């Protein structure tokens, strides 16, 4: 189920992801397996967060945190605190976000080795510092996140780190640097067919507009859209007699 849900989330198919978590949750509830109930609740919380259902996210993450603490699961405890950090950022509770992210980062750096999760937590810190206009700290943690993503071989993580660097450069009124970061992010998002490619494309367009590259912007956007269309057509091609739908 894990690989399938990751695919659903990467394609932004939140209904399918939520249905998978709900089905699994019912199964593990019958078995009274607290670890897997916590894992499914965590997945539901992250999905609710993507939907901007903050009440639903808070309830699911609270349930997951309580269960993982009961079974002394350090990774789960840290992962939920990282998610709570993101939730607090969405609610403009920056001080609460910092507390949750510090709890998560402390576990990931001293007790549980998970480079992708440590990178994800650093990216969340980057968003926090950007909101506070702490640009030096923001770039430091985002560079660290990118370094960890490269070591871990996480292309989606690398793309997200480049994208957050682009956002930082835009806020610093450095559109040329933002263009470079957004372009790096977009190339990776397109390679892994991630839904974030579309938003990243528009962010890259904003960097072009800030530099007055209007004609170049139109031409590059058309080319990038063609590349994305070709990639989606490749996905739809019959494989062993089966047509794969991306709708």
**Tens place of pLDDT for every residue, the chain, 247 residues?**
444 455 455 555 666 667 767 776 766 776 788 888 888 888 888 888 888 899 999 999 999 999 999 999 999 999 999 999 999 999 999 999 999 999 999 999 999 999 999 999 999 999 999 999 999 999 999 999 999 999 999 999 999 999 999 999 999 999 999 999 999 999 999 998 888 988 898 899 889 889 988 776 676 667 666 655 554 454 344 434 333 333 3
pLDDT at 238: 41
**Residue 242: phi, psi to the nearest 5?**
-115, 130
pTM of the model: 0.81
- Structure token digits, residue 107: 């576990």
Residue 77, C-beta contacts closer than 8 angstroms, at least 6 positions apart: 65, 68, 69, 107
Other Cβ atoms less than 10 A from the Cβ of 96: the count is: 15
What Å distances lie between residue 226 and 144, 190, 237, CA to CA? Answer: 33, 11, 17
243 three-state secondary structure = coil
148 three-state secondary structure = helix
The gap between the terminal CA atoms of the chain, to the nearest Å, is 20
Other Cβ atoms less than 10 A from the Cβ of 136: the count is: 7
What Å distances lie between residue 99 and 32, 88, 96, 195, CA to CA? Answer: 31, 10, 5, 30
73 three-state secondary structure = coil
Task: Measure the CA–CA gap between 84 and 90, rounded to whole angstroms.
Answer: 10
DSSP 92-111: T-HHHHHHHHHHHHHHHHHT
Q: Residues 131, 157: contact at Cβ < 8 Å?
A: no
Which of these, 98, 42, 113, lies nearest to 71 by C-alpha position?
42
Q: Residues 75, 65: contact at Cβ < 8 Å?
A: no
pLDDT at 229: 54
Torsion sign (Cα): 194, 151, 112, 107: negative
């Amino acid at each position: 189920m894990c690989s399938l849900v990751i695919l659903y989330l990467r394609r932004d198919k939140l209904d399918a992801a939520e249905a998978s978590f709900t089905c699994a949750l019912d199964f593990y509830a019958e078995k009274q397996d607290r670890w897997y109930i916590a894992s499914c609740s965590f997945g539901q919380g992250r999905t609710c967060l993507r939907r901007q259902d903050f009440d639903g996210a808070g309830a699911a993450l609270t349930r997951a945190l309580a269960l993982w603490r009961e079974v002394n699961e350090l990774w789960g405890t840290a992962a939920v605190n990282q998610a709570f950090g993101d939730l607090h950022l969405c609610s403009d509770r920056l001080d609460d976000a910092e507390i949750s992210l510090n709890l998560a980062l402390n576990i990931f750096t001293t007790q549980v080795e998970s480079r992708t999760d440590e990178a994800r937590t650093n990216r969340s810190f980057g968003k926090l510092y950007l909101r506070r206009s702490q640009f030096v700290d923001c770039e430091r943690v985002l560079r660290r996140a990118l370094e960890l993503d490269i070591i871990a071989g996480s292309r989606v993580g690398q793309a997200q780190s480049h994208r957050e660097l682009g956002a930082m450069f835009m806020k610093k009124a450095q559109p040329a640097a933002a263009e470079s970061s957004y372009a790096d992010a977009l190339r990776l998002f397109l390679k892994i067919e991630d839904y974030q490619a579309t938003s990243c494309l528009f962010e890259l367009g904003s960097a072009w507009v800030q530099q007055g590259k209007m004609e170049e912007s139109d031409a590059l956007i058309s080319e990038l859209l063609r590349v994305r269309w070709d990639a989606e057509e490749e996905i739809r091609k019959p494989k062993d007699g089966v047509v794969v739908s991306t709708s």
